[in-house]
Amino acid sequence: MFSHLPNSFLQMNTIFISILIEALPFVLIGVFIAGFIQMFISEKFIARVIPKNRFLAVVVGSCIGVLFPSCECGIVPIVRNLLKKGVPLHAGIAFMLTAPIINPVVLFSTYVAFGSTWEIPILRVVGSLVVAMVVGNLIAFFYKGEGLKEKILNTESDVKEEVELVQTPPLMLADSSVPVTQFTMLETSQEEHHHSHEHAHHSHTEMNFGQKLWHTAQHSVDEFFSVGKYLVFGAFIAAAMQTYIKTSTLMQIGHGPILSILLMMVLAFILSLCSEADAFIGASFRSIFSTQSIVAFLVFGPMLDIKNLMMMLASFKVKFVLFLVTTVTIVVFIYALII
């Protein structure tokens, strides 16, 4: 049936499916955590946990990722929800950069992949923390404005206002000049609003545990379909580049410490591996590339690859994504060069 198709196309299809199969479980974990944050974590709790001092906020954001078993495939929806809950941009991005690397699952897989030795895992964790600290503080002190797209912020703001109007006590409406028909229209508008926005701002105090779980599931489904299309698109691009850009050709370019580090960073971006599995691929290059370039591969990949770049462009402003990509690339390169 498929015998008339080129072998390269069949190879691309196989890689594409394997990337999706590898990434989907972690995307599901990520959107469920995002839904949990939306329904169970209040703005007041976040305000107590995140320090007001910008430097300390970056430190907390960089280190708290050890508690989240998420890879880069599902980290974007988690961070997006944290930012909408009031987490500062610099702390949220610091968390996004380290969480796929410093969590126990990735740390253990890296330890096993490199022959049960701690050199590479430690260099990887330290590198992620250094990058997150530097980039987070650059955002805190030099980046002005919101990181999230205006349509996301505006939608959230509009729904808050709508909920407040609909929940206004009848006595206030009776004293005001708002006609009953207008109040009815507001109720109808709220009922017809997409359920992802409806439950996003539902009062936590009015719901029991079971209702919160139900709304968590609904929010997770919304998040999955929101980021899923970008995952598919990113996986397709990654598969096409792996098929039609030969690794051997890239390796011929990678001579010397500078070029080898840059090459491994490019490979990490193109291969778009999940952070739970990339250590085994990185270990396979030990006989070809230096420790510096392998560490660059292991630090850069979970922070920036084709999949999560697509998802970031869907949630963040293009200007901010460019700022983030540039700073992360420069800091990872410098760190790998000096270790």
Return the residue matching tokens 């919304």.
222
Q: What length is written for the chain?
A: 339
* 86 Rama sector, left if φ>0, alpha if ψ -120 to 50, beta otherwise: left
Spatial distance between the Cα atoms of 297 and 300, rounded to a whole number of angstroms: 5
Residue 56 burial (CB count, 10 A): 12
Which whole-number Å values give the CA distances from 247 to 238, 243, 270, 290, 307, in the listed order? 13, 9, 10, 17, 19
- pLDDT of the chain, 339 residues: tens digit per residue: 566 778 888 888 888 888 788 777 777 876 787 778 767 777 677 767 889 899 999 999 999 888 776 677 778 888 888 888 889 999 999 999 998 899 887 888 889 888 888 999 999 999 999 999 999 999 999 888 788 887 666 655 444 444 344 444 444 444 444 454 443 443 444 444 444 444 444 445 567 778 878 888 887 787 777 667 767 877 787 788 778 877 666 667 667 788 889 988 998 998 887 787 788 888 877 877 889 999 999 999 999 998 889 889 988 999 999 999 999 999 999 999 998
Token pair in block for residue 242: 């792996």
Spatial distance between the Cα atoms of 110 and 279, rounded to a whole number of angstroms: 5
| Cα angle 316, 297, 305; round to 5 | 25
| Residue 305 · residue 72 · CB < 8 Å | yes
Spatial distance between the Cα atoms of 300 and 50, rounded to a whole number of angstroms: 26
| Residue 216 · residue 36 · CB < 8 Å | yes
Helix axis angle for 291-303 and 89-102, nearest 10°, is: 130
